[in-house]
Amino acid sequence: MRNRQQQFGEKGESLAARHLKKNGYQILEQNYCNRLGEIDIIALEDKTLVFVEVKSRKSTRYGSPKWAVTPRKQRKISMIALAYLKSTGQTRARARFDVVTVTANRGAPRIEIIKNAFELAYE
C-alpha cells in the first residue's frame, strides 16, 4: 500500500502526463525503470525524444519544485536516459531533458513545463 506522499507523487505524474499530451507530446513510457533507476516520463515532441522529470509539491513554501532537480539527480537521469537510448538503438536520436512542476495550490494545480531544463550530465 502506498503512503500519502507516494499517492501525491503519482497524482502529480498523472497530471503532468495529461498536460504534456495537451501540449503536443506523445507519451511513450511512464515510470521507465532499468537497473540504474527510473525516469518519470519518456515522450516524443515533434521528432525529439524527451526525458521528463516530474516534481510535485503541495506548496511553494520551500521554493519552486524545479529546484529539487539537483545536479546529482540530473546525473542519475542522464545515465538512465543514455542506457535507454542504447537499449532501444536510438543513440543518434535528438533528445532533451524537460522538468514538469506540479504545485497544488488552493483550487486547480499549477503545472509548468520547463523545456531543456538541463544538459546531459555524466561525470
Q: Is residue 123 part of a domain?
A: no
Sheet harboring 37-45: ordered strands across?
26-34, 37-45, 48-57, 95-103, 110-118
* Confidence band of 1 (pLDDT split at 50, 70, 90): low
Range from 65-69, 99-103, 111-115, 117-121 carrying the lowest mean pLDDT: 65-69
37 is a domain residue: yes
85 inside domain = yes
Tell me 68's DSSP state.
G
- Does 93 map to a domain? yes
- Residue pLDDT, tens place only, 33-91: 999 999 999 999 999 999 999 999 887 777 778 888 999 999 999 999 999 999 999 99
Domain housing 17: 4-118
When divided into structural domains, the chain yields a total of: 1
Q: What is the CATH number of the domain that holds 85?
A: 3.40.1350.10
For the whole prediction, is pTM greater than 0.85?
yes
